[in-house]
Amino acid sequence: MFNKICVVGLGYIGLPTAVMFANHGIKVHGVDVNEKAINLIQNKQLHIEENGLQEKLETAIDSGNLTAATTPEEADVFIIAVPSPIREDKTADLEYVRKATEAITPYVKAGNLVILESTVPPRTVEDVMMPVLEKTGLEFGTELYVSHSPERVIPGKVFEELVNNDRIVGGINEKSSQLTKELYEVFVKGTIHLTDATTAEMVKVIENTYRDVNIAFANELAKISDKIGVNAWEAIKLANFHPRVNIHLPGPGVGGHCIAVDPWFIVEQQPDLAKIIHLARTTNDGMPKYTAEKVQSLLQDKGIQHGRVAVFGLAFKGNIDDMRESPSLHVLQHLEELGIDYTAYDPHIKENQLAKQTQDIHEATNHADIILVLTDHNEFKEFTPSKISGEMRTKMIFDTKNCINRAVWEKEGFEVKVIGDSKN
């Protein structure tokens, strides 16, 4: 039944998903409005970074099972995997979902299955997609099947988790859910759990909101630890030896397309009830400012009024090139507001996207007064300070991810500060 799939949105989720289906013998037509991305894919080149994607993309295209263009084609299944960002006022921007649905509508025919993979507020399938799909004239549940099956993967391990993680499928009726389950069983080894579309939408935002609240708790502990002379990292590690405790780790903020966004979907729908969720989101959104002010304080303690910062890391997490909602960008904004100069370096961001970004680590550290580690890339964990220490004015490092080899840096004469650790 599933002879051809049309995947709309070839980003961090859509492209790996398209490649997986193509490499499991199904014809896949990928669609994206980004012409540069399409041209790269057609030439077996990547516009995103993901472990194993290059090889899998080449296999998919060479087999003839994967094509890419800026317009959809007729298919048996349409998968929508487009962004669902938040606006300045913290409300969901569902225009990408709406426009993607409008784009496929002329190609949808009787018997088709439409799947939304984007993480969205509850009722998006019913209130946004279905009114658009009504234009097909097909009867929902008998001629046209619709479901929501949100991705559950982490950048850097997308292919492993696409296969092994359990998956949630919520259809507008039982047949929609069953058809979606049968489709993903092509490569999913984890259990596929069936529910309705709105519940599936709620499940995904619950998962990321739980993590956001947990991280906010850790960040609050880090702030308290800074005040009372405790190493929050050590305390959290020891607390997690309790069999029913699993506290996340603090940091300079929360980024990415899910955790930093999804809780607002719940707050938007029920602001009077989502008190804890809103507080957690505000706490995490406040960490970049806290980090910048901590840098200012460390510089002033050395008698440096403004100083120069070598910022290590722009991606929102380690070993990826994804800057979406990255707290690093907000830290930089606050540094500028405080009148503190900086140069940013990230080995995974191959092209300069910021005015004060460099591809040369020596340029970043030259005449710097402090290194600010914002992303736990392996390159930073393994970095030896002897390579750059002579270039710096002041040997000081502030590690917000607790990822560097502290003993090595201290041996080279660096003063090491770690967020949430006032014992150092």
Q: How many structural domains are present in the chain? A: 2
Tell me if residue 258 is catalytic. yes
Q: In the beta sheet, which residues pair with residue 67?
A: 29
Nearest CA to 335 among 385, 387, 296, 304? Answer: 296
What tens digit of pLDDT does each residue of 328-353 get?
A: 999 999 999 999 999 999 999 988 88
From the list 6, 56, 181, 258, the catalytic residue is 258
What tens digit of pLDDT does each residue of 165-196 get?
A: 999 999 999 999 999 999 999 999 999 999 99
Report the pLDDT value the prediction gives residue 424, as an integer from 0 to 100.
64
Specify the residue for token string 């069983």: 185
From the list 27, 56, 181, 204, the catalytic residue is 204
Q: Is the pLDDT of residue 155 over 70?
A: yes
The number of C-alpha atoms within 13 Å of 331 and in the hemisphere containing its C-beta is 34
Residues 237 and 186 in one domain: no
Look up the pTM and report it: 0.92
Q: Is the pLDDT of residue 41 over 90?
A: yes
Buried b (16+ CB within 10 A) or exposed e, 150-185: bbbbebeebbebbeebebbbbbbeeebbebbbebbe
Residue 76 in domain: yes
> What average pLDDT does range 250-265 have in this prediction?
93
CATH number of the domain enclosing 78: 3.40.50.720
What tens digit of pLDDT does each residue of 223-235 get?
A: 999 999 999 999 9
The last residue of a domain, from among 197, 213, 245? 197
The last residue of a domain, from among 147, 178, 197? 197
Total count of residues recorded for the chain? 424
Report the pLDDT value the prediction gives residue 177, as an integer from 0 to 100.
98
Report the pLDDT value the prediction gives residue 97, as an integer from 0 to 100.
98
Residue 73 in domain: yes
Report the pLDDT value the prediction gives residue 399, as an integer from 0 to 100.
97
What tens digit of pLDDT does each residue of 63-118 get?
A: 999 999 999 999 999 999 999 999 999 999 999 999 999 999 999 999 999 999 99
> What average pLDDT does range 19-32 have in this prediction?
98
The span from the CA of 337 to the CA of 328, in Å, is: 14
Q: What is the DSSP letter of 128?
A: I
Which H helix or E strand runs over 264?
A: helix 262-269
Q: What are the φ and ψ backbone dihedral angles of 30, each rounded to 5 degrees? A: -95, 145
Q: Is-contact 376 400, C-beta < 8 A?
A: no
Range of the domain at 397: 231-424
Residue 295 in domain: yes
Residue 207 in domain: no
Beta strands in 131-289 (DSSP E): 144-148, 167-171, 192-196
Report the pLDDT value the prediction gives residue 259, as an integer from 0 to 100.
92
What tens digit of pLDDT does each residue of 375-424 get?
A: 999 999 999 898 887 889 999 999 999 999 999 999 999 999 999 998 76
Quickly count: other Cβ atoms within 10 Å of residue 52's Cβ: 13
Mean pLDDT of the chain: 96
